[in-house]
Structure 1
Amino acid sequence: MVTFVLSLVILVVGYFTYGAWIERMFHARDERPTPALTHADGVDYVPMGAGRNSLIQLLNIAGVGPIFGPIMGALYGPVAFLWIVFGAIFAGAVHDYLTGMISIRNGGAHLPALAEKYLGKALRHVVNGFALLLLVLVGTVFVTAPAGLIVGITPEWVTVGVVTVAIFIYYILATLLPVDQIIGRLYPAFGLMLLISAVGIGGSLILRGAPIPELTLQNLHPDNVPIFPLLFLTISCGALSGFHATQSPIISRTTQREGQGRTIFYGMMITEAVIAMIWAAAAMSLFDGQSLSALLKDGGPAAVVSQVATTTLGAVGGTLAIIGVIVLPITSGDTAFRSARMIIADYLKIGQKAIGKRLMIALPMFVIAAALTQVDFNILWRYFSWANQSTAMIALWVGAMYLALSRKNFWPALLPAMFMTAVTSTYILNAPIGFGLERTLSIAGGLLITALLTGAFFTGTRRQLAGSGPEGVPVDEPVPTRLARAPAGD
């Protein structure tokens, strides 16, 4: 219990200390007009207040990741707490803040356009592929996961197929309609539901004196699955998630002032980490490694969610908590498809003012996602995890390059970028879904790839900074935003 409570305290302190330092280092300025004001179009660029944006951002990024991931990560034991706490403060929240704020400085641009600008034109195509793969996988995973939870608390005639169709209909509406019509109106209420359910379970753990294990660096996974690199892929949302880099630009287009960025981007990542801590602690307190592993193999993370909720809060409270969990994936799946629509529109230079143009992009995505719902969830999750953390790696390299070219302290972004490069490279070299190499060779290969990319980073920054002024390369000249430049009738 001491480890759990102390971890929550460290997360809060991290927001007020390291988060404030990151904000000062970035030099957010309220006098700079944001894209929500300069590019207002009534569809994607719509000014909204900080409180509203914060709850929308939380729901955008929070999916089932900060619940399912920590539940599966609980198999490793309390060492998972370290990754959630320090990963969130020094990697995840920095990642979210930088992607959100750099997007604001570049007209609300998405990650592929930012990668092209700061890492080279060839990267735009690579990142487009990564981002779209990730978003479609997220949208698909976040249809199947809530559908299973909904069926578990509804009458027998409500089948998974019926629920899946209903969720897809909602996704289509949320993807196509202006951001303030569904997302802007429903998300604040959904956000409160999420927070209430998490606080209810966390409060119950503390009040009951639940037997949450104390910190140990020992790997307690019953199948002896290695911590590196798998723990850092299993727990992504709640510590560090590339999916957030695809979501932050949605809110960068609705943020009114740069000074609101720490609350919206850094703060909501810390809030997500608190949610992840609660669910990891709950899983560890109610199950040992063997029983948790057996339940995960039998019913998946959704079965653990149901048992944790009803055990800690009773039948009624547990059902309300499950509803709060259901809200999470649905409210990330819709913005995943919305973000994919905007990325494709930017890439193909298709204006989004007319709903017909939005339909032209959105409908093929939903057809692909519907087909993917027939694929085994565990297989989808493996590909999602790797694509997710690879996207985070790219976003951190973008952030490091932006800071370096601005002659600012780039180490807060560079160090996690290097770490995640080693993690994702090692995984894809070793995993059966990748190259299937022997583990030691895969680690050596991952470190070599990291060293080569780090060398390229320093070489590239030195070359670009040579001859530049004391403020560095002018990195804040906005990326041309195709959506904003589309004719009014487009």
Structure 2
Amino acid sequence: MVSFLLSIVVLIIGYLVYGVFLEKVLGIDRNKKTPAYELRDDVDYTPLPTWKVFMIQFLNIAGLGPIFGAIAGAMFGPAAFLWIVLGSIFAGATHDYFSGMLSVRHKGLSISEVVGIYLGPKVKHLMRAFTIILLIFVGTVFLVGPAKIIDGLSSESMGVPFWVLLILVYYFLSTLLPIDKLIGKLYPIFGLAMLIMALGLFVVLMTGDFTIPEVTWGNLRNMTSNPTETPIFPVLFVTIACGAISGFHATQSPLMARCMRNESNGRVIFSGTMITEGIVALIWAAAAMVCFGDVGALNSTMAANNNNAAWAANEITLSMLGQVGGVLAVLGIIAAPITSGDTAFRSCRLILADVFQLDQKKYIKRFYISLPLFVIAFALTQVDFGIIWRYFAWSNQTLATVVLWTITAYLIFEKKNYVVSLVPAIFMTMVCSTYILIAPEGFSIENTYAYWGGAVITILVMGLFGWYVTKGRLQMA
């Protein structure tokens, strides 16, 4: 219990202290006109109140990740707490704040275009394709996930395909309509459900007869059923993405960069939402560790139910909050992924519009861009959900890594403190390269060789980056 509460306190202190430090590293300009005013079109570029921008950003990034990822991460034991805290403060908040503010500084451009500015046109073209594929994966994951949850809760089951189509219709509308017409009006309601869900679980954890594992040296071991197949490094750092660091966040930040009224709002909107998501992930991880007895029981229960995190989330809410509280909490579970899926498709539309320089004021142009995305996403719903989720997890963290290197290049070129992003960039490069070598959906290399391979790839990436920025600085001189 002490470690859990201390983790929440450290996250809050991290936002108040390290968040201010990051803001000073960037150097904000309160008098500079933001894209919301400079390029206002009342479709994507429109100034919104800070509280509403915060809520939209939070719901954009807080999809199934801090719930499903936290439950799966809890299977490793209290090591999950450490990664959520340290990852959120030193990696996630850094990633989210700078990626959001760089978009603000570049007229609300999509992350692939921002990457191209600082890492070159070749990387930009690669990131365009990579980001679009990731966002379609996200939209598909957040289409199938909530559809399965709703179907499981339905007394008269309509079947998953029915709910998929219904959610798809909502996604289509939210992608086409101006941001303040549907998303801006529904998100505060969904946000309230998310807050009630998190607060309810927290209160039960504090008042119930539960023993949350402490972060001790003895407990910082791999508690999964098969530690050899799921080593803490790198699997834990990919399993818990949202709630620690997630590349998906960088795809969502440009949406809010186009709605921010002032640069001074960036810390609360980008860093603040990341830290809030970290707290949500902590609560779910703690709940998962105690709901079924202990971490060992969590592992065996998950194994018996095909590692179905949606089932586990439903069981946790119903058993810990009862029927009434469970309904509110499940509403949060459903709202979270839906409010990430809709903006995933919206972000994808904006990226394509940036790439082809298409004006988005007319509905018909937004329709032409969006329709193929939904056709592809619907086709992907026929693929096994577990396969989609695994590839989404790795590609998501890979995108976060590229964004961290982009931020580092920007800070170097601007002669600012680049260590804040360089350290997490190196760490995440090692995580992603090792994971793809070791994972069954990757190369399935034996652990020791995968670690050495990950180290070699990381050193090569560092060398290539050093060569690139040196060349860039010489050209700028």
Is the structural similarity TM-score above 0.5? yes
The residue aligned with 1:483 is none
**C-alpha distance after superposition, 1:94-133 (max 9, x if no partner):** 1000100000000101111111110011001111121111
Equivalent pairs counted in the alignment come to: 469
Q: CA deviation at 1:429?
A: 2.0
Q: Is the 8 A contact 1:34 1:256 kept in 2?
A: yes
Q: Is the 8 A contact 1:222 1:289 kept in 2?
A: no
C-alpha distance in structure 2 between counterparts of 1:102 and 1:327, whole Å = 29
Q: CA deviation at 1:310?
A: 1.4
Q: Within 5 Å, which residues of 2 pair with 1:148-187?
A: 148-187=148-187
**C-alpha distance after superposition, 1:361-398 (max 9, x if no partner):** 11111111111111111111110001100000011111
**C-alpha distance after superposition, 1:388-439 (max 9, x if no partner):** 0000001111111111111000011111111111111111122232233332
Q: CA deviation at 1:459?
A: 2.9
Q: Secondary structure at the match of 2:233?
A: coil
The residue aligned with 1:448 is 456
Change (3 A) 1:357 1:77: same
Q: Within 5 Å, which residues of 2 pair with 1:259-274?
A: 259-274=264-279
Query: 1:222 and 2:225 equivalent?
Result: yes
Identical aligned pairs, as a percentage? 48
Q: Within 5 Å, which residues of 2 pair with 1:417-428?
A: 417-428=425-436
C-alpha distance in structure 2 between counterparts of 1:185 and 1:415, whole Å = 39
Name the amino acid aligned to 2:35: P
Give the TM-score, by structure 1 length.
0.93
Name the amino acid aligned to 1:16: L
Q: CA deviation at 1:233?
A: 0.6
The residue aligned with 1:476 is none
Query: 1:352 and 2:360 equivalent?
Result: yes
Name the amino acid aligned to 2:119: L
The residue aligned with 2:239 is 234
The residue aligned with 1:2 is 2
**C-alpha distance after superposition, 1:434-455 (max 9, x if no partner):** 2333322222121122112222
The residue aligned with 2:420 is 412
C-alpha distance in structure 2 between counterparts of 1:124 and 1:463, whole Å = 18
The residue aligned with 1:319 is 327
Q: Is the 8 A contact 1:147 1:160 kept in 2?
A: yes
Q: Within 5 Å, which residues of 2 pair with 1:117-136?
A: 117-136=117-136
Query: 1:435 and 2:438 equivalent?
Result: no
Q: Secondary structure at the match of 2:231?
A: coil
Q: CA deviation at 1:157?
A: 3.9
Q: CA deviation at 1:160?
A: 1.5
Q: Secondary structure at the match of 1:76?
A: coil
**C-alpha distance after superposition, 1:322-362 (max 9, x if no partner):** 11111000000000000001111111222211111111111
Q: Within 5 Å, which residues of 2 pair with 1:295-444?
A: 295-297=301-303, 298=305, 300-444=308-452
Q: Is the 8 A contact 2:198 2:280 kept in 1?
A: yes
C-alpha distance in structure 2 between counterparts of 1:292 and 1:386, whole Å = 24
Structure 1, unmatched stretches of 5+, are 470-490
Change (3 A) 1:86 1:209: farther
Name the amino acid aligned to 2:472: Q
The residue aligned with 2:17 is 17
Name the amino acid aligned to 1:407: K
C-alpha distance in structure 1 between counterparts of 2:334 and 2:180, whole Å = 22
The residue aligned with 1:76 is 76
C-alpha distance in structure 2 between counterparts of 1:432 and 1:308, whole Å = 29
Query: 1:57 and 2:57 equivalent?
Result: yes
C-alpha distance in structure 1 between counterparts of 2:290 and 2:310, whole Å = 17
The residue aligned with 2:41 is 41
C-alpha distance in structure 1 between counterparts of 2:233 and 2:475, whole Å = 42
C-alpha distance in structure 1 between counterparts of 2:424 and 2:125, whole Å = 23
The residue aligned with 2:137 is 137
Q: CA deviation at 1:468?
A: 5.1
C-alpha distance in structure 2 between counterparts of 1:131 and 1:290, whole Å = 37
Name the amino acid aligned to 1:109: L
**C-alpha distance after superposition, 1:121-155 (max 9, x if no partner):** 10011111211111111101101111111122222
Name the amino acid aligned to 2:240: I
Q: Secondary structure at the match of 1:43?
A: coil
Name the amino acid aligned to 1:169: V
Name the amino acid aligned to 1:347: V
Q: Within 5 Å, which residues of 2 pair with 1:87-102?
A: 87-102=87-102
Q: CA deviation at 1:290?
A: 4.3
C-alpha distance in structure 2 between counterparts of 1:467 and 1:96, whole Å = 29
**C-alpha distance after superposition, 1:447-477 (max 9, x if no partner):** 12211222232333233334857xxxxxxxx
The residue aligned with 1:485 is none
Q: Is the 8 A contact 1:404 1:410 kept in 2?
A: yes
C-alpha distance in structure 2 between counterparts of 1:86 and 1:147, whole Å = 33
Q: Is the 8 A contact 1:341 1:362 kept in 2?
A: yes
The residue aligned with 2:298 is 292
Q: Is the 8 A contact 1:153 1:319 kept in 2?
A: no
Q: Secondary structure at the match of 1:228?
A: helix
C-alpha distance in structure 1 between counterparts of 2:446 and 2:212, whole Å = 35
Q: Is the 8 A contact 1:97 1:261 kept in 2?
A: yes
C-alpha distance in structure 1 between counterparts of 2:475 and 2:403, whole Å = 27
Which of the numbers 247, 250, 255 marks the counterpart of 1:250?
Answer: 255
Structure 2, unmatched stretches of 5+, are none
